[in-house]
Amino acid sequence: MTERHYLWFALAFYAAATALTARRLQRGFAAGTLHHVNVALVVAGFLVHTLGLFLRGQHLNRCPLTNLFEVQMFIAWSLVLFYLVIGPSYRVSFLGAFTAPVVLAVVLTALVAPIDVLAKVPKKHSAWVEFHAAIGIVACGALALACVVGLMYLVQERQLKSHHPGRLLLLLPPVDQLDVIGFRLLVVGFALLTVGMIGGAVSHRVVGAWPWPKTVWAVAVWCLYGVLFGGRAMDAWRGRKAACGAITAFVFTLAAFWGATWLSK
Amino acid sequence: MNLVVVGLNHRSAPVEVRERLAFPKPALGEATCMLLGAAPLKEAAIISTCNRVELYGLAVDADKALAGMRRYLHDYHGLQDSVAPHLYEFCNNDCITHLLEVVSGLDSMVLGETEILGQVKDAYAAAQQAGATGPALNRLFQKSFAAAKHIRSNTGITQGSTSVANVAVELAEHIFRDLRTSTVMVIGTGAMSEATAKALRSRGAGTILVCGRDRERAAALAGQLGGQPIHYDDWPVEFDRVDIVISATAAPHPIVTPEKLEPLMKARHHRPLFLIDIGVPRDIDRGCGDMENVFLYNMNDLQQIAQENLAAREREIAVCRALIAERVAALAAWLEQNQDSLTQRYA
């Protein structure tokens, strides 16, 4: 079996977790057993996902972050990693239910789209490059989860503002808690992004100039999250504004990364 | 061997009858032992709450046992008149079904309430400690508790509050992550605002501020709620530390408007604010509900949610009954299979 097979298996687990989410929403109440099955499916998917990435790394003899396929796979992996840390720590109900479909979408796009093309390996290989890329992608995982939490916030706020909340109101955490978690993920994500940027600047000296589209992308993403961080830290943007910001910024990050990668060819 | 139950509840008897037949909680164990002596029963347990009194038993002859249990109820409480028209009786499968419906909250005055499970657990513990239960009732009660738990977590029968005060609390719990750190301000001292503030306090609301034009009433209510009274004109001053406002004044015009709220929200760093408007005419301008991080509910909204929640619970009854039927079949089969061992044990 190749590493892609393992990644397809991981996709199957995430798909099962997503199907279970739909079932839970349809039934409209927090079925205890279904919640545990949901978490178990995501954990199983994460383990197989990790194995797939590990084998890919062994095969390449370096960190598997050489093309768009690997980057997306890594973002999905770090998103699940953050979910597995945040979910139990904050006892956030239904976070897994919202995370599974996002992970499924990212992994499925990576596996189906023709983006798994062998990249040219730079002559000057540097540990700084791998460090910069890995930290940047882990940051994207935290920011992806902030996007998921933002989605949950908007759904819960809509329930509360509608004056006719459905049973989804009872399933989702309080808006206040979602706002705080979203901000903490933004802080972690932005800090990692900053470290990644510094790594990128150092590796620039070692491997030479980065392609300009990626440099522009990285600076734009960092500035965007910097503005979001500043706005939230000064209490100007909290609640709905912060949630919309987290979603828009992450969608921009992914879309712009695709664009930058194509332009860098 | 037959499982039997004799009892009355809020549907079969008015409160005047129910209170005459109630057993004091500390006397439950002793009363259960007396029941074993008074009626031809091998095992017994008594459930007594404000809405129901029920005697459960295991008997060789169901008819004689039911007659003995009825007589015991009269004799224990020294009744002169007959309460027989208010009593219901069930045997075997119907008895098991009844207990499962009771513990699941299907037979409660407030459909799906969960307090009854704890009350039945206490009643069972009292009977067990008094040595009045045996293999049949032990199995019946323990399986009924497991069934209630299963039904609670696999259906929507307990979800959504059905009273206005509790709906307000439930909404607050979905806005704030911890009510213990939240501050509630009560403006106006009506019965409904008092009930809502008490419900919030019972769920752990941290600080309660009470302001009313009548200072004595405000101070009295603050005393009852363990809160602090403030001057009516000072409510905007205290607003920056408030998370939940319950407003029920007799003011002819809205006392909270978007224009007034905007600078107050800024001073509160745009923290979420839950406004509960119980006043008629309304105290809070509808426009406040359109502001970011402000969640405004009036009396109509809360009443409508309570009704919708009740309707949603009623729609779950069929699912609950199907789950109960499965458990009843299993318990009935166990009783059938263990007839010989039970007969031998109590020969």
pLDDT in tens, A19-32: 887 777 776 655 55
- pLDDT band of residue B57 (cuts 50, 70, 90) is very high
In this predicted structure, the answer to whether residue B309 has a pLDDT above a threshold of 90 is: no
The amino acid sitting at A131 is: F
**Comparison of pLDDT for A195 and A94, the residue scoring more:** A195
**Comparison of pLDDT for A211 and B196, the residue scoring more:** B196
Neighbours of B267 (CB within 10 A): 12
Give 3-state DSSP helix, strand, coil % of chain A, rounded to 5. Answer: 80, 0, 20
Q: Decide: helix, strand or coil at residue A169.
A: helix
Question: Which chain A positions have a beta carbon within 8 Å of B308's beta carbon?
Answer: 164
Cα–Cα distance for residue pair B152/A62, rounded to 1 Å: 51
The pLDDT of residue B114: 86
Report the interhelical angle of B135-154 vs B317-337 (nearest 10°): 160
Measure Cα distances from B317 to B153, B188, B327 in Å. 14, 39, 15
Q: Which residue of A has its CA nearest to B156?
A: A29
Cα–Cα distance for residue pair A260/B115, rounded to 1 Å: 60
Q: Are residues B33 and B168 in the same domain?
A: no
Closest CA to B279 of B307, B296, B298: B298
The pLDDT of residue A232: 87
Burial label, B92 (beta-carbon count in 10 A; 0-12, 13-18, 19+) = middle
Q: Are residues B250 and B268 in the same domain?
A: yes
In this predicted structure, the answer to whether residue A123 has a pLDDT above a threshold of 60 is: no
Residue A162 in contact with partner chain B when CB distance is under 8 A: no
Catalytic residue among B50, B91, B288, B320: B50
How many domains does chain B fold into? 2
Cα–Cα distance for residue pair A193/A172, rounded to 1 Å: 29
The pLDDT of residue A91: 66
Average pLDDT over residues A224-253: 90
Closest CA to A215 of A257, A187, A245, A185: A257
What lies within 8 Å, CB to CB, of B329 at 6+ separation is: none
**Comparison of pLDDT for A215 and A179, the residue scoring more:** A179
Domain interval for residue B182: 164-306
Let me know if B288 is a catalytic residue: no
Nearest 10 degrees: CA dihedral of B28, B33, B36, B38?
-90
Per cent of chain B over pLDDT 90 is 47
- pLDDT band of residue A208 (cuts 50, 70, 90) is low
Question: Which chain A positions have a beta carbon within 8 Å of B295's beta carbon?
Answer: 160-161
Question: Which chain B positions have a beta carbon within 8 Å of A158's beta carbon?
Answer: none
What lies within 8 Å, CB to CB, of A22 at 6+ separation is: none
Q: Are residues B298 and B332 in the same domain?
A: no
Neighbours of B214 (CB within 10 A): 12
**Residues B177, A176: C-beta atoms closer than 8 Å:** yes
Q: What is the mean pLDDT of chain A?
A: 84
The pLDDT of residue A265: 64
Residue A205 in contact with partner chain B when CB distance is under 8 A: no
- pLDDT band of residue B8 (cuts 50, 70, 90) is very high
Report the interhelical angle of B92-103 vs B135-154 (nearest 10°): 50
Report yes or no on B311 lying in a domain: no
* Domain boundaries, given as residue ranges, for chain A: 1-119, 122-265
Q: What's the CATH code of the domain at B330?
A: 3.30.460.30
Is the CB of residue A143 less than 8 Å from the CB of residue A186? yes
In this predicted structure, the answer to whether residue A210 has a pLDDT above a threshold of 90 is: no
- The verdict on whether omega for the bond into residue B252 sits within 30 degrees of 0, i.e. cis, is no
The pLDDT of residue A101: 87
In this predicted structure, the answer to whether residue B90 has a pLDDT above a threshold of 80 is: yes
Nearest 10 degrees: CA dihedral of B234, B235, B240, B241?
100
- For chains A and B, CB pairs below 8 A equal 72
**Comparison of pLDDT for B86 and A65, the residue scoring more:** B86
The pLDDT of residue B137: 93
In this predicted structure, the answer to whether residue A203 has a pLDDT above a threshold of 80 is: no
Q: Are residues B7 and B152 in the same domain?
A: yes
What lies within 8 Å, CB to CB, of A201 at 6+ separation is: none
Supply the CATH classification number for the domain A1-119: 1.20.120
**Residues B156, A174: C-beta atoms closer than 8 Å:** no
- pLDDT band of residue B66 (cuts 50, 70, 90) is very high
Q: Are residues B168 and B184 in the same domain?
A: yes
Tokens of B257: 């408007």
Q: What is the mean pLDDT of chain B?
A: 89
Report yes or no on B290 lying in a domain: yes
Cα–Cα distance for residue pair A97/A17, rounded to 1 Å: 7
**Residues A160, B171: C-beta atoms closer than 8 Å:** yes
Cα-based angle A212, A214, A219 (whole degrees, multiple of 5): 95
Cα–Cα distance for residue pair B342/B347, rounded to 1 Å: 8
Q: What's the CATH code of the domain at B275?
A: 3.40.50.720
In tens, the pLDDT along B192-221 reads 788 888 888 888 888 899 988 878 888 888
The pLDDT of residue B142: 94
Average pLDDT over residues B210-239: 84
- CB burial string A164-191: b at 16+ within 10 A, e below: ebebebbbbbbbbbbbbbbbebbebbbe
The pLDDT of residue A124: 58
Cα–Cα distance for residue pair B14/B16, rounded to 1 Å: 5
- pLDDT band of residue B109 (cuts 50, 70, 90) is confident
Helices marked H in chain B — which ranges? 15-21, 28-38, 62-77, 92-103, 115-129, 135-154, 164-173, 191-202, 215-225, 235-238, 258-267, 299-315, 317-337, 339-345
In tens, the pLDDT along B110-157 reads 888 888 999 999 999 999 999 999 999 999 999 999 999 999 888 888
Q: Which residue of B has its CA nearest to A181?
A: B177
Distance from CA of A195 to the nearest CA of B (A): 30
Q: Are residues B208 and B249 in the same domain?
A: yes
In this predicted structure, the answer to whether residue A61 has a pLDDT above a threshold of 60 is: yes
Average pLDDT over residues A140-167: 90
Average pLDDT over residues B72-95: 90
Q: Are residues B115 and B12 in the same domain?
A: yes
Tokens of A113: 């789209």
Is the CB of residue A113 less than 8 Å from the CB of residue A107? no
In this predicted structure, the answer to whether residue A165 has a pLDDT above a threshold of 90 is: no
Average pLDDT over residues B328-338: 93
Q: Which residue of B has its CA nearest to A235?
A: B269
Among partner residues B155, B272, B301, which is closest to A239 by beta-carbon distance?
Answer: B272
The pLDDT of residue B122: 92
**Residues B295, A173: C-beta atoms closer than 8 Å:** no
Distance from CA of A231 to the nearest CA of B (A): 12
**Residues B295, A176: C-beta atoms closer than 8 Å:** no
Report yes or no on B253 lying in a domain: yes
DSSP B241-260: G-SEEEE----SS-SB-HHH
Cα–Cα distance for residue pair A148/A250, rounded to 1 Å: 10
Question: Which chain A positions have a beta carbon within 8 Å of B177's beta carbon?
Answer: 173-174, 176-177, 180
In this predicted structure, the answer to whether residue B276 has a pLDDT above a threshold of 60 is: yes
**Comparison of pLDDT for B232 and B332, the residue scoring more:** B332
The pLDDT of residue A29: 55
Report the interhelical angle of A32-60 vs A3-27 (nearest 10°): 160
Question: Which chain B positions have a beta carbon within 8 Å of A231's beta carbon?
Answer: none
